[in-house]
Amino acid sequence: MSSFPFLLVMILLPAVGAAVIAALPRGREQTAKQLALGVSLVVLLLAVLTTVAFDTNGPRFQLTTSVSWIPDFGVRFALGVDGIALVMLLLIGVLVPVVVAASWNDTAAGNRSMRAFFAWLLLLEAMMVGVFAATDVFVFYVFFEAMLVPMYFLIGSFGGPRRQYAAVKFFLYSLVGGLVMLAAVIGLYVVSSQQLAHGTFSFDALRNLQIDPGVQKLLFLGFFLAFAIKAPLVPFHTWLPDSGAEAPIGGGVLLVGVLDKVGTFGFLRYCLPLFPDASRAFAPWILGLAVAGILYAALLAMAQSDMKRLVAYTSISHFGFIALGIFAFTTEAGTGAVLYMVNHGISTGLLFLVVGMLIARGGSRQIGDYGGVASYAPLLAGSMLIAGLASLALPGTNSFVSEFLVLIGSFPTRPVYTIIATVGMILAALYILLMYQRTMNGPPRGVLLEELPPGAENGPVGGESAHDSVLDHHGGATATLTETATATAPARARLRIRDLSRRELAVVTPLIALIIALGVYPQPLLNLIRPAVSATMSDVGADPHGITPTHAPNKGK
């Protein structure tokens, strides 16, 4: 079973699928969608099978494939996964079919075809699998840059009104980081050719190099800049709100859900093991950026009026937590950070999707254009609430486990940073509730409002039809004491909104199920992640077994 080249197939299959979809004749949109869904489901199946074939007690990289590619420079097309990459592959496997289903009824602006959208989506999936599965730094770099192309077209061709600006900004930002990283990759090659018989890009070989600390710092910064832009850490973040806001919902989910994780994945996979001395030297600075980012982005999120930008800023805040977990150099925090990468993809992905569904109904991204949706679309409101609660890391949802692990793991080594970071927990509650309550609660108002003709039944379209009268009955009485209780809607009005359709339910249900399941029983994923994080921590000189408490643990039960 393990001889089957899972990873290669997971790259080639969507790539081929993308080519086939692109080659379909015009007007075969339905076929394109079905093909995209089929291919992405097969990739999900492959990801699951890969997980089954993966042995947590086995060697660090498993299911390896290695083919000579450019022998003159020692480049091999080498693939393999450790636990960290594996969970990311699972995340990709889950998110892409969800995104395909979520984009099912989208229409492209102008004369563009949704065929192209699904083709780019599948190509993006191939590239994302490649970037996580690469075990050769050069191959990683190639996928890292190639990933930009499909995302550029997804944003630039299918995005919102300012899509061109956003796409170019995204592309240039990433390209700058990528080019600096290219210099560092070449630098690594030069160092390896000085120390080894042949220069190489192989991760395993590079990990064993003894690099001069000064050189390490330069190379580290080269990689770090690329990853800090990708992740993104404050102050390299300003492309994300623009891209996140302008991207089509499907593209946006993959952008914040998976693509950005390449940055934090890069910290863990490349920065820490390859440049341990430099990592330790720069850790206080990076932690400072991370913690500043948590608070800074959270405050900014609170002040946003555009829902998609708000979600983008919450992501920046969450990336601060992930970076904190990675650069705290403990197994607990590192494990938490990796789990956070997965959980954030699920919870923010869901939040993005639900926000997108609301925007699709109202046609506006402004929070102020909605209000009182909950009584007309309870499923939509419930989904947003669950996504929001997962975003603010409420216990019982998946994000709690990861945020808790990051913080509890960072506290023993970095108490000050951790204490400041916990303030982010309060701010998270604020920005999520602000968005949820303003759009979903309160009296009905905003773009979806329609006044009823006289004589029509004053109540929601189906559902809790007697709600209004009872509420007025309650509300009117208390208004004498609570001056704030004022009704803003005209007396005879309702919202014109559909609740979630069957297809949309099929989109949100798997993610909600994962949020709850991973919130209650995260251990299977933790078991996958832990060995890889332990290995990384021993690379960087930390205790791979975890934190030793100040006082010997009391074993008496």
Partner 1 sequence: MHTVPASGLLAASWLLIALPLAGAAVLLLGGRRTDRWGHLLGVATVAVAFVIGLACTVQLGGMSGSKSVNLDLFTFISAGTLDVKAGLLFDPLSAIFVLLITGVGSLIHIYSVGYMADDPGRRRFFAYLNLFVAAMLLLVLGNSYVALYVGWEGVGLASFLLIAFWYRRPAAVTAAKKAFVMNRVGDVGLALAIFIMFAQLGTTSFVGVLGSTGALAGGVLTALGLLLLLGACGKSGQFPLQAWLPDAMEGPTPVSALIHAATMVTAGVYLIARSAPIYDHAPAARTVVTIIGAITLMIGAIAGCAYDDIKKVLAYSTVSQIGYMFLAVGLGPIGYVAGLAHLLTHGFFKAGLFLGAGSVMHAMNDSVDMRRFGGLWRRMPVTFATFGLGYLALIGFPLLSGYWTKDAIIEAAFDHGGTTGYVLGGVGVLGAGLTAFYMTRLMFMTFFGRPRWDAGSASTPVDPHESPGVMTVPMIVLAVGSVAAGYLLTQAFPLSAWLSPVFGTNKLESHVVAPLWIGVLVIGAMVLGVAAAWLFVGRREVPVVRPARVSPVVRAARNALYADAINESLFMRPGQWLARALVFVDNRRVDGAVNGIAATLGGSSARLGRAQTGFVRSYALGMLGGAVVVAGALLAVTAG
Residues in 191-220 that interact with partner 1 by CB under 8 A = none
- Choice between 11 and 300, CB closer to partner 1: 300
314 touches partner 1 by CB under 8 A = no
CB-wise, 501 or 523, nearer to partner 1? 523
Query: 127 or 537: whose CB is closer to partner 1?
Result: 537
CB of 103 or CB of 375, closer to partner 1: 375
Q: Which residues contact 119 (CB under 8 A, 6 or more apart)?
A: 18, 19, 21, 22, 32, 36
Which position among 20, 22, 108, 299 is part of the footprint of partner 1 (CB under 8 A)?
A: 299
Which span sits near partner 1 by CB under 8 A: 49-57, 126-134, 267-275, 332-340? 332-340
Q: Which is nearer to partner 1, 32 or 85 (by Cβ)? A: 85
Subset of residues 520 to 539 that bind partner 1, contact rule: CB under 8 A: 521-523, 526, 529-530, 533-534
Which one, 5 or 459, has the nearer CB to partner 1? 459
> Which stretches within 103-198 are classed as H helix?
114-133, 137-146, 148-158, 163-195
Q: Which of residues 137-196 bind partner 1 (CB under 8 A)?
A: 169, 172-173
Tokens of 49: 């099978």
231-266 burial, b for 16+ CB within 10 Å, e for fewer? bbbbebbebbbbbbbbbbbbbbbbbbbbbbbbbbbb
Hey, which bits of 41-105 come out as E strands?
A: 62-70, 75-81
| Residue (120 or 173) nearer to partner 1, CB | 173
Kindly state the smallest distance separating residue 431's Cβ from partner 1, in Å.
9
Query: Looking only at residues 437 through 476 of this chain, which bind partner 1 when binding is defined by CB under 8 A?
Result: 437, 440-444, 463-468, 470-471, 473-475
CA distances from 289 to 174, 232, 296, 297, 326 (A): 19, 11, 10, 11, 13
Q: Give the footprint of partner 1 on residues 471-490 (CB under 8 A).
A: 471, 473-475, 477-478, 480-482, 484-486
Among 161, 235, 490, 541, binds partner 1 (CB under 8 A): 235
Q: Check residue 1 for interaction with partner 1 (CB under 8 A).
A: no
Cα dihedral sign, 532-537-543-549: negative
The end-to-end CA distance of the chain, in Å, is 43
Q: Which of residues 503-522 bind partner 1 (CB under 8 A)?
A: 521-522
44-49: long-range contacts (C-beta < 8 A, 24 or more apart)?
44/93, 44/94, 44/96, 44/97, 45/93, 46/6, 46/9, 46/10, 46/13, 46/93, 47/10, 47/89, 47/90, 47/92, 47/93, 48/90, 48/93, 49/1, 49/6
Q: What is the dihedral of CA 242, 247, 251, 254, to 10 degrees?
A: 20
Instruction: Determine the interface stretch with partner 1 among 12-20, 209-217, 296-304, 448-456 (rule: CB under 8 A).
Output: 296-304
Q: How many CB atoms neighbour CB 552 within 10 A?
A: 7
Helix or strand run (H / E) with residue 449 = strand 449-451
Residue 350 in contact with residue 508, Cβ under 8 Å? yes
Is residue 330 within the footprint of partner 1 (CB under 8 A)? yes
Cis amide prior to 232 (ω within 30 degrees): yes
Applying CB under 8 A, the span of 142-150, 179-187, 341-349, 387-395 interacting with partner 1 comes to 387-395
Torsion 460-464-466-469 (CA) sign? negative
The b-or-e profile of 39-66 (16+ CB within 10 A means b, else e) is bbebbbebbeebbebbeeeeebbbbbbe
Query: Would you count residue 546 as binding partner 1 (CB under 8 A)?
Result: yes
Q: Which two tokens stand for residue 68?
A: 């000579």
CB of 330 to partner 1, least distance (A): 7
| x/- map, 415-434, partner 1, by CB under 8 A | x--xx--xx-xx--xx--xx
Minimum distance from CB of 23 to partner 1 (Å)?
37
State the nearest-atom distance from the C-beta of 360 to partner 1, in Å: 23
Report the nearest approach of partner 1 to the CB of residue 156 (Å). Answer: 16
Binding residue for partner 1 (CB under 8 A) from 45, 303, 491, 513?
303
Distance CA 456, CA 425 (A): 46
**Two tokens at 24?**
């379909």
Build a one-symbol-per-residue string for 93-132: x at contacts with partner 1 by CB under 8 A, - elsewhere: ----------------------------------------
Select the span of 64-72, 94-102, 202-210, 544-552 touching partner 1 (CB under 8 A): 544-552
Beta-carbon-side half-sphere exposure of residue 432 (alpha carbons within 13 Å): 26
Which token pair is 22?
């692109």
Is 24 buried (19+), middle (13-18) or exposed (0-12) by CB count in 10 A? middle
Q: According to CB under 8 A, which one of 57, 210, 455, 551 is a site residue for partner 1?
A: 551
Nearer to partner 1, 39 or 351 (CB): 351
What are the structure tokens assigned to 477, written together? 């009485």
> Among residue numbers 37 through 56, which ones bind partner 1 (CB under 8 A)?
none
Query: How far is residue 375's CA from residue 287's CA, in Å, rounded to a whole number?
Result: 43
**Least spacing, CB of residue 504 vs partner 1, in Å:** 16
Residues 6+ apart with CB under 8 A from 107: 114
C-beta of 65: minimal distance to partner 1 in Å? Answer: 30
- Of residues 263 and 443, the one with the C-beta less far from partner 1: 443
Task: Number of residues interacting with partner 1: please give it, by CB under 8 A.
Answer: 92
The interface with partner 1 within residues 393-412 (CB under 8 A) comprises: 394-396, 400-401, 404-405, 407-409, 411-412
Nearest approach in angstroms of CB 47 to partner 1 is 22
CB of 163 to partner 1, least distance (A): 17
Question: Would you say 241 or 266 has its CB closer to partner 1?
Answer: 241
**Which amino acid, residue 354?**
V
